Amino acid sequence: MVDEALARSFEGIGADYDRYRPGFPAAAVDLLIPEPVGAVLDLGAGTGKFTELLAGRAARVIAVEPSEPMLAVLRAKLPDVDAHRASAEQIPLDDESVDVVTVAQAFHWFDRIRACAEIARVLAPGGTLELIWNRSDPASAWDREAHRIAHPAVAADDGTTSSAAEELPGFRFVAHEQIQWTERIERTAYLKRWSTVSTFIVADDATRAAMFAAIEEILDTDPETRGQAHYDLPIVTDVFVYRRA
């Protein structure tokens, strides 16, 4: 069940999201779209952090995103992308009109049954659905701890799994790949990043301040981050490939 308040939290941000959230490794796109295709749709495209990697991978790159502030950043950054304000549950495209649908860091916000039906409708026969998530690398204890503060519900889990289900209605699961990479990040940018995360956006001021204080405490005490202005942040990018059944 999607938490609507969290899903809609992106309606209030745009520029900060684009500035502070991590991008995605080009290796993910090499894996997903090894040969150029006719049309690719990036669904839940946000400010275009994944969409921008799709240039040159398809004759037509389409973005669908419900948040106007997020879409405004995407349109300014990527004027050649065919951008639509809409949701995954009601995609404003013709039947069988795209070869690939990508969803980066957003599939967990969709109504899974309705979105899968819409994605299957717009995909050409044999087309692929590709789900991408960046997640904390278990190798980084301090980042894992920070994630536990931001997402206490995930703490019950070991925090290393993404939100993908291996079974999606109307699709056949093809592959799961993981790409490990490292981002060099300033302490201030790392803290700012958390302010773009849904649980921080919807928290009241006192709760948000307490969450920031807890993360600062981790950074001030962990041997890898204590006294440092820059950190090496290991990230795992999960890529899940499905084919239209």
Ligand X SMILES: C[S@@+](CC[C@H](N)C(=O)[O-])C[C@H]1O[C@@H](n2cnc3c(N)ncnc32)[C@H](O)[C@@H]1O
- Chain residue whose CB lies nearest ligand X: 46
Q: How many residues bind ligand X (CB under 6 A)?
A: 21
**Residue 3 or 222 with smaller CB distance to ligand X:** 3
Residue carrying structure tokens 């969803």: 103
Number of C-beta neighbours around residue 55 at 10 A: 12
Handedness of CA 110, 107, 143, 186 (dihedral sign): negative
Q: Return the number of the residue (98 or 106) whose C-beta is nearest ligand X.
A: 106
The closest of 25, 33, 30, 238 to 127, measured between CA atoms, is 33
Closer Cβ to ligand X, 48 or 127, answer by number: 48
The minimum distance between CB 224 and ligand X, in angstroms, equals 26
d(CA 20, CA 60): 28
* Site membership for ligand X, residue 70 (CB under 6 A): yes
Alpha-carbon distance values, 165 to 36, 135, 161, 171, 242 (Å): 27, 16, 10, 11, 11
Please report whether residue 25 would count as binding ligand X according to CB under 6 A: no
Select from 14, 25, 66, 127 the one that contacts ligand X (CB under 6 A).
66
Torsion of CA 160, 32, 62, 235, to 10 degrees: 30
Minimum CB separation from ligand X for residue 236, in Å? 15
Task: Spell out, one character per residue from 26 to 65, where the chain touches ligand X: x when CB under 6 A holds, - when not.
Answer: -----------------xxxx--xx--------------x
Q: Strand 230-244 relative to strand 123-136: parallel, antiparallel, unpaired? A: antiparallel
Q: Should residue 237 be labelled a site residue for ligand X when binding is judged by CB under 6 A?
A: no
- Of 37, 53, 109, 164, which lies in the binding site for ligand X, with binding defined by CB under 6 A? 109
Q: Which residues bind ligand X (CB under 6 A)?
A: 7, 10, 21, 43-46, 49-50, 65-67, 70, 87-89, 104-106, 109-110
